[in-house]
Structure 1
Amino acid sequence: MKKLLSVVLGLGIAASAVANEVSFEQYVEGMKQEALNNGISQQIVDKAFENVTFKPRAVTADRNQPEKKLTLDEYIPRAVPDWKVKQARDLYKKHYAELSRIGGEYGVQPRFIVALWGVESNFGKFTGGYSVIDALSTLAYEGRREAFFRKEAMAALTILEEGHIKPENMKGSWAGAMGQCQFMPSSFLSFAADGNGDGKKDIWNTKADVFASTANYLSQSGWDDKYTWGRQVKVPHGIDPSLEGRGEEKGKYLQEWSKLGITRYDGKPLPKLDEDIKAWLIMPDDENGRTYLVYNNYNVLMKWNRSYYFALAVSHLADRIKY
């Protein structure tokens, strides 16, 4: 297994004039040296890479993302089936005391914490069985997004160095997304939180840490618990399509949208709030599909995952938990 590499082995320095044809094993040696240069201990480096293995299935998954596009009418029932709603409500009640404490601390409604938990990992049931170091080393070596995955591998080693989890227990998806909230290692370093005060940030097994990490991500990304995410609406036929979009300049206050003929989905007027709120018009399918006015909290969900469909699945599940 060979690769044409445009970096100086072990230094991670771009050098287009230098091309080293290296095996996966040689490439890993370069990663190990980079980790040592970054201050990771020899003990962690040796343990993390002890049985590192190239994973062809991770490469296949990365190259073959599903192309079939479902409409929202098809997607939402699949992403948020009734059985998942029931589980979400049951878990919301079961963990309410802890969720309420953490939600209050971070300023995030508990139902959104549970909704993200449900959509990301089916409440911790599907977290991935790949060694995170295997997956990230494989995808860095494969080269399509080398810089990204190599950086994530270094972040994963930092997590191990900090002692949050043992190398043999650091499992995740084929892309290296980890734990019940499916954080990439760099997101873990930025947002993971200790929810139960034991000094560790265990997003794999400790629900309090999963909840606190999720809430911390939303809080630091601009969440405002005075508001919800948005609402499905009806738009008048022939509305100017240039009004659609999430750019800053596209935002209008609810009463401005009301004057343009937009109503609630049931045809009633948009709410009149004591303090009007800015909203954005989105049409993820087209003007003939589902249409929404979304608030800044929805934009925060889009930072978590840049998919309209993902953010709407989380929002829909959060609403089903509430009602």
Structure 2
Amino acid sequence: MKLLTVLLTTIAFLTTQAHAQNKLAIEEQYQGWLSQTIWPQARAKGISADTFSAAFAGVTLNWKLPDLVPPGTKAAVPKKQRQTEFGSPGKYFNRGSVDGATSVGRRTARKHTNTLRSVESKTGIPGRIILAIWGRESGYGRVAIPHDVFEVLGTKAFMSTRKDYFEQELIAALEIVQAGHVPRGAMKSSWAGALGQPQFMPSSFLKYAADGNGDGRVDIWTSEADTIASIGAYLDEHGWVSGRDWGVEVTVPSSVSCTLEGPDQGRLISKWEEMGIKRVSGRPFPDHESRSEGYLLMPAGRKGPAFIVTPNFYVLKDYNMSDLYALFVGHVGDRIQYGLGDVSARWSAVDKLYRSDIAAMQRSLERQGHDVGGADGLPGFKTRRSIGRWQKANGQQATCFPERGIDLN
């Protein structure tokens, strides 16, 4: 027994040592990659050697970041759940997040009334929507942003599932420092590389960040006015339709299939009304909305609330591609301005599935000719309605949401 213990201890030690040596070798590859691949691109963009050296002084790879693909390994769909879409969508709307964003949002609205009105007048973006995004992204500037952006973007550009994208963002971050928008030490980001109170990726800062207080600078780190103006500019440039809402909760009769969900299956809202879809408030849709196109949104299929949304909902998704994010922003914005309560329909309990489980379902559906939007393990609207179509074709009631009992083979 003693000999076995010694043997196992030795094996563990050697494994750990080999792992450490492998990491050290990859770190050396990383430093070479910075000088041979990133520096020439940075120099071509006007980045000085001093700026480049300061940006990466003491920076090493961050091995704790998600979705890394070290050299010599292959990408895999992670089994560990990382996003709320993998469990009940209702968790995204937890009491603390919704109430906190609403109450602080109302106080912030009073504090920045003039700036919000000015931005809304210029862009058409309602102040309540700007506030809800600000609250979700950084708690109105109260949430600490912990990571060094060059560590994050450098790591992801060198070894992640989206290396090309993060390489471009890394160059953009260098441009921000080179232009003097913010000191190198203030370049803190999220784990994904997003900056400041509105959590802009560096390229978005360069394109959309705006001066909201007229001081001639653009500061999304400490200026609340610039943060408001920048969010407004982003939504404006992405096509927000002035005068239209983002959407509204509705009841969907059983005669209307959940497979009709999606922005590519839009119809006049008056047509949805003729099919029996009604606002939960019981009030009719406003005339200008009824004459315009709307889209069915059922983020939990038949296991949760339903909405008719407008093109503005998909502008919110340009800020963050999650249906639930856009829904949270619209819902909290309405609570801030109109004092609305929770959604009426209940978010039913759903099976807790790993991302790999959903990816397996998606691959099976793809083999059968369904367009699920890619086997990425995320149950977006294409996956939801494909599940519903499969259920209908196989004589089952369409729920349009992943469930553990569904056998797609």
Does residue 25 (structure 1) correspond to residue 42 (structure 2)? The answer is no
Query: CA 1:228–1:79 in structure 2 vs 1: closer, same or farther (change >3 Å)?
Result: farther
For the residue of structure 1 that corresponds to 2:288, the secondary structure is coil
Match of 1:47 among 49, 54, 59: 54
Query: CA 1:103–1:273 in structure 2 vs 1: closer, same or farther (change >3 Å)?
Result: closer
For the residue of structure 2 that corresponds to 1:273, the secondary structure is helix
Does residue 216 (structure 1) correspond to residue 221 (structure 2)? The answer is no
Q: How much has 1:228 moved relative to structure 2?
A: 1.4
| Contact 1:61–1:174, Cα closer than 8 Å, also in 2 | no
CA offsets, 1:181-221, max 9 Å, x none? Answer: 11111111121111122232211111111111100010011
Match of 2:136 among 101, 119, 144: 119
| Contact 1:234–1:267, Cα closer than 8 Å, also in 2 | no
CA offsets, 1:105-137, max 9 Å, x none? Answer: 222111111000001111112252111111101
CA offsets, 1:239-283, max 9 Å, x none? Answer: 133321111xx1111211110110011344433338722110011
Counterpart in 1 of 2:304?
A: 289
Counterpart in 1 of 2:266?
A: 251
- Counterpart CA distance in 1 for 2:203 and 2:48 is 19
Q: Aligned partner of 1:318: which letter? A: G
Counterpart in 2 of 1:35?
A: 42
Which deviates more, 227-236 or 73-82? 73-82
| Contact 2:45–2:175, Cα closer than 8 Å, also in 1 | no
Gaps of 5+ in 1: 4-20
- Counterpart CA distance in 2 for 1:143 and 1:255 is 46
Counterpart in 2 of 1:314?
A: 329
Counterpart in 2 of 1:9?
A: none
Does residue 131 (structure 1) correspond to residue 148 (structure 2)? The answer is yes
| Contact 1:234–1:262, Cα closer than 8 Å, also in 2 | yes
| Contact 2:244–2:289, Cα closer than 8 Å, also in 1 | no
CA offsets, 1:42-93, max 9 Å, x none? Answer: 2211221222222222247896661553434332234743233111101111
For the residue of structure 2 that corresponds to 1:81, the secondary structure is helix
- Counterpart CA distance in 1 for 2:123 and 2:282 is 35
- Counterpart CA distance in 2 for 1:94 and 1:315 is 21
Q: Aligned partner of 2:297: which letter? A: I
Q: How much has 1:164 moved relative to structure 2?
A: 0.8
TM-score by length of 1: 0.87
| Contact 2:51–2:177, Cα closer than 8 Å, also in 1 | yes
Query: CA 1:252–1:176 in structure 2 vs 1: closer, same or farther (change >3 Å)?
Result: same
For the residue of structure 1 that corresponds to 2:287, the secondary structure is coil
Match of 2:158 among 138, 141, 145: 141
For the residue of structure 1 that corresponds to 2:135, the secondary structure is helix
- Counterpart CA distance in 1 for 2:44 and 2:161 is 24
| Contact 1:127–1:178, Cα closer than 8 Å, also in 2 | no
| Contact 2:268–2:290, Cα closer than 8 Å, also in 1 | no
For the residue of structure 1 that corresponds to 2:156, the secondary structure is helix
Query: CA 1:27–1:96 in structure 2 vs 1: closer, same or farther (change >3 Å)?
Result: same
Which deviates more, 238-247 or 224-233? 238-247
Does residue 206 (structure 1) correspond to residue 218 (structure 2)? The answer is no
CA offsets, 1:140-193, max 9 Å, x none? Answer: 122432111111100111111221111111111121111111111111112111
Counterpart in 1 of 2:361?
A: none
Q: How much has 1:22 moved relative to structure 2?
A: 5.3
Considering only aligned residues, what root-mean-square deviation do their CA atoms show, in Å?
A: 2.2
Q: Aligned partner of 2:240: which letter? A: W
Match of 2:278 among 250, 263, 268: 263
- Counterpart CA distance in 2 for 1:78 and 1:60 is 29
Q: Give the structure with higher Rg (CA).
A: 2
Q: How much has 1:138 moved relative to structure 2?
A: 1.2
| Contact 1:80–1:317, Cα closer than 8 Å, also in 2 | no
Number of matched residues?
Answer: 304
- Counterpart CA distance in 2 for 1:258 and 1:117 is 34
Q: Aligned partner of 2:62: which letter? A: K
Match of 2:82 among 66, 72, 94: 66
Q: Aligned partner of 1:144: which letter? A: T
| Contact 1:262–1:270, Cα closer than 8 Å, also in 2 | no
| Contact 1:195–1:212, Cα closer than 8 Å, also in 2 | yes
| Contact 1:127–1:173, Cα closer than 8 Å, also in 2 | no
| Contact 1:231–1:292, Cα closer than 8 Å, also in 2 | yes
| Contact 2:61–2:155, Cα closer than 8 Å, also in 1 | yes
Counterpart in 2 of 1:16?
A: none
- Counterpart CA distance in 1 for 2:100 and 2:230 is 25
Does residue 177 (structure 1) correspond to residue 194 (structure 2)? The answer is yes
The structure with the greater share of residues assigned to strand is 1
- Counterpart CA distance in 1 for 2:305 and 2:290 is 27
Q: Aligned partner of 1:171: which letter? A: K
| Contact 2:270–2:290, Cα closer than 8 Å, also in 1 | no
For the residue of structure 2 that corresponds to 1:215, the secondary structure is helix
For the residue of structure 2 that corresponds to 1:116, the secondary structure is helix
- Counterpart CA distance in 1 for 2:239 and 2:321 is 16
